[in-house]
Structure 1
Amino acid sequence: MTNEQKAIKAMYFSIIGNTCLAFIKGLAGFFGNSYALIADAIESTTDILGSFLVLFGIKYANKPADENHPYGHGRAEPLITFLVVGFLITSATIIAYESILNIQHPHDLPKPWTLIVLSAIIIWKEFSFQKVMKRGKETNSSALKADAWHHRSDAITSIAAFLGILIALVMGKGYESADDWAALFAAAFILYNSYKIFRPALGEIMDENLNEDLIEEIRNKSREVEGIIATEKCFIRKAGMQYHVDLHAIVDAKITVKEGHDLAHKLKDRLQTEIPELGNVLIHIEPD
């Protein structure tokens, strides 16, 4: 199974899971008199839209290179991630606004059975986070990792809702707003999580150097190629699920131009074979 297929399969898992959970949370929040659960349902609804965006981004980012896009379409992934962050910020703002209104106007206590619903949701969302994050790491997809963090943020907001409802039920009359304070906390966490998702995507767009481990691996693999004495400059930029590399390789100054050319191709083939996530590899030969 290719990286693209793994990523798409993970996205369908997210979309189906979030759709079911949004429906369950919405019903439980409405009939269980819990705004924290309704806030959770709102976040899950935005997660569905975000997951569809990520799915589109992954498919578009993996289109092959063409005349207008010689390095491929990988940069579509972080751009889609920015849109996902926009959805998260919007949902957090709506949740915070409604929470503040509800705090000012006390309502009835939540129903005890909502705690059972939330317990199941927390377990499922943490499982979803682990599953999607594993795929994100396997495929080097920033958008897939962003979607995984949606699941983790959903789990934490559900924990906040659980605690808010529990406090309201245990403390009784006068503590009805604990449920709403939990929703407000959830909104703050969503905003914080939005920054955590946004920051690496911005680094990808700006070609920020965040790949020291990969650079070291490339240098080590290069020195294993007969005829390559050492490496000098090594620049990496990430685009979608691939890394494009500019590498300066040091060779014997006395070899012919053709021998240097053949060595460059040999090195490029070796790197792309042993490090499959590499896309375009440009080798510049330097004399020793």
Structure 2
Amino acid sequence: MDDRSAFLRATWANVVGNVLKIVVEGVVGVTFGSLALVADAAHSLADLLASLIVLVWGRLSFEGPDRSHPHGHERIEPLTALFVGATLVVLGARILYDAGLSVLHAPDVVFDPLLVAGLAFGVLDMVLVYRYTTLLNETLESPALDALAADCLNDVYTSLAAVVGVFGAAIGEPMLDPIAGALVSVLVIREGVAISRENIDYLVGRAPPEEELDAIRDAVRSHEEVAGIHDFTAHYVGTEIEVEFHAEVADEHTLREAHDLETELRERVMALPDVGDVHIHLDPAGMGEWKDAPEN
């Protein structure tokens, strides 16, 4: 199975899984007046929308460069994941508002064993989709699929939180149902904020973590022909790291030798995880740049 096929299969699994969860929990929740179940189904409605967006937009990341996008489509995936996060925040806020209204007014929820069955189905459904998505994403390392998988796991937690509301209806304490709905909404908002923050960093060109920067510098400095480096920069372009630096080398190299050295350095850096492109400038000794630029 190629990467594109694996990506599409994982995304379709999320679409189908969320449709099933929405139908089952939505019908049961509305039938018996459970805000906790309706909130959980509404969460999955946002997940469904996000899954569809990932399906349409996310697969563009597998397209190569073209005239309109000479560097490819790497930024599509974090943009898609950001949409997932923002959708969760908005929906979570709406659920929290509805839960607050229900607390102020007497909730009208009737216990029925189908409430338990609906929740159990929702948990099992999301566990299976989560495991399938993470399995396929082990080699893809797609942030969009990471976002969907994280949301599947979050769905499991929100469904478990909804158990509080069903339990309240069972013991004659209906007020626990909107409280459970509010708890679900807080979990939804929290996950949406986390996903959004991570992918905003990708989109604005944040520098990679310091340990990754050190690994890139070490790969360059370890070459026996390199005396040092300066003007070093590295930042995210989408989910890939773009690297640029000046390498300080001896001045006796021929043009062909300098070309081969530059190729060796590029291959070393490109072999590191997440590096997508490398720009190298060779600075020969005696040109004054070594002493004027600090090592970095």
Same fold (TM over 0.5): yes
Please report how far the alpha carbon of residue 197 of structure 1 lies from its aligned counterpart in structure 2 after TM superposition.
0.7
What pairs with 1:103-182 in structure 2 (closer than 5 Å)? Answer: 103=103, 104-133=105-134, 135-136=136-137, 138-170=139-171, 172=172, 175-182=173-180
Deviation digits for residues 215-261 of structure 1 (CA, Å, limit 9, x no counterpart): 34434444565644555454333334533222433433432343222
Deviation digits for residues 118-167 of structure 1 (CA, Å, limit 9, x no counterpart): 23422442443354345556434222222122212211111110122113
What pairs with 1:136-285 in structure 2 (closer than 5 Å)? Answer: 136=137, 138-170=139-171, 172=172, 175-222=173-220, 227-228=225-226, 231-232=229-230, 234-272=232-270, 274-275=271-272, 277-285=274-282
What pairs with 1:40-59 in structure 2 (closer than 5 Å)? Answer: 40-59=40-59
Secondary structure (helix, strand or coil) at the match of 2:113 reads coil
- Contact 1:230–1:249 (CA under 8 A) maintained in structure 2: yes
Which letter maps to 1:53?
I
Gaps of 5+ in 1: none
Please report how far the alpha carbon of residue 9 of structure 1 lies from its aligned counterpart in structure 2 after TM superposition.
2.4
- Contact 1:74–1:242 (CA under 8 A) maintained in structure 2: yes
- Contact 1:66–1:72 (CA under 8 A) maintained in structure 2: yes
TM-score (normalised: structure 2): 0.83
Answer with 228-237 or 34-43: which moved more: 228-237
What is the distance in 1 between the residues matched to 2:202 and 2:85? 15
Please report how far the alpha carbon of residue 176 of structure 1 lies from its aligned counterpart in structure 2 after TM superposition.
0.5
Residues 153, 246 of structure 1: CA spacing in aligned structure 2 closer, same or farther, 3 A cutoff? Answer: same
- Contact 1:71–1:280 (CA under 8 A) maintained in structure 2: no
Instruction: Give 1:12's aligned residue.
Output: 12
Instruction: Give 2:69's aligned residue.
Output: 69
Answer with 217-226 or 179-188: which moved more: 217-226
Answer with 27-36 or 45-54: which moved more: 27-36
Deviation digits for residues 18-63 of structure 1 (CA, Å, limit 9, x no counterpart): 1111111112223344221111111111111111111222222332
Gaps of 5+ in 2: 286-296
Work out the number of aligned pairs and report it. 284
RMSD: 2.7
- Contact 1:232–1:247 (CA under 8 A) maintained in structure 2: yes
Instruction: Give 2:28's aligned residue.
Output: 28
- Contact 2:203–2:238 (CA under 8 A) maintained in structure 1: no
Which letter maps to 1:163?
V
Residues 60, 40 of structure 1: CA spacing in aligned structure 2 closer, same or farther, 3 A cutoff? Answer: same
TM-score (normalised: structure 1): 0.85
